[in-house]
Amino acid sequence: MWIDTHCHLDASEFDADRDAVAASAREAGVSRIVIPAIGRQNFAAVRELAHRVDGGAYALGIHPMYTPGAVDADLDLLRMEIEASLDDPRFVGIGEIGLDFFVDGLDDARQQFFYNGQLQLAREFDLPVICHVRKSQDQVIAGLRRHQIHRGIAHAFNGSFQQAQAYIDQGLHLGFGGNLTFERARQIRRLAEQLPLDALVVETDAPDIAPSWMYRQRNSPEQIPAIGASLAQLRGVTSDAAALGTTANALAALPRLALSSA
């Protein structure tokens, strides 16, 4: 069995067949699907969905790309939502949070404000984080160090080996998905091949980051076993070994996943 550690199953792309998508993933061997929030607008949706689908789990957070529409009081709301979710076995952490220095038009100071505020909450409640690190690996790890966060996932990791080691040394796991299936993605493939297996988790980021065989199509969590098989092939191990390893890693990165294991 596999765990998809990052899937936006609440996205509008799944409105027509969301439950069928989740069921197909289950049939394909995906035992858990982690659904991160992007902001106050979908806190309730990810919670409801995580309870509705078999193997669903959720994280709550304010995504850096949605900080233009966020207000300071959202951090207070997030605190209340976290407090209300602590007894919920399907709640696994704080995410998706982080920084994005790739997209034009985002206010870096506002991103940092919300990122640091959410790291404070992670520290206060002793929760792992699911971090967005696009073109921001060094700044994100600096925040993790500053707030002494030692558990979570650097989602869609695409940094250097030195940056990868910094995250591993901090206690985080690194998320790999459909990108590693493209032969032209040489750096990601080198990372996936050479980093310690116990540092890696698999993810889809569905509906985005589709694997090579679904280029420019809607991605879905049922692709995790095939993505995992690609990872196994790169590393010269069996798919079963990759499944066992990445599942154990996901449980280490997000320990509350074990509370709601089916």
Give the annotated binding-site residues for a divalent metal cation: 6, 8, 96, 132, 155, 205
Looking at residue 257, its amino acid is L
Report which DSSP code applies to 135.
T
Binding residues: 6, 8, 96, 132, 155, 205
> From its phi and psi, is residue 175 left (phi > 0), alpha (psi between -120 and 50) or beta?
beta
Give the Cβ contact number of residue 197 at 10 Å.
17
Close Cβ partners of 186 (under 8 Å, ≥ 6 residues apart)? none
Q: Is 124 exposed, middle or buried (0-12, 13-18, 19+ CB in 10 A)?
A: exposed
To which H or E segment does residue 81 belong?
Answer: helix 73-85
Between CA 141 and CA 237, with CA 233 as vertex, the angle to 5 degrees is 90
Kind of pairing between the strands at 91-98 and 56-60 = parallel
Going edge to edge, which strands form the sheet with 173-176? Answer: 2-4, 30-36, 56-60, 91-98, 129-132, 152-155, 173-176, 200-202
- Polymer length in residues for the chain: 262
* Distance separating alpha carbons of residues 130 and 154, to the nearest angstrom: 6
| Helix intervals (H) in 133-211 | 137-146, 161-170, 186-194
Instruction: Report d(CA 42, CA 85) in Å as an integer.
Output: 14
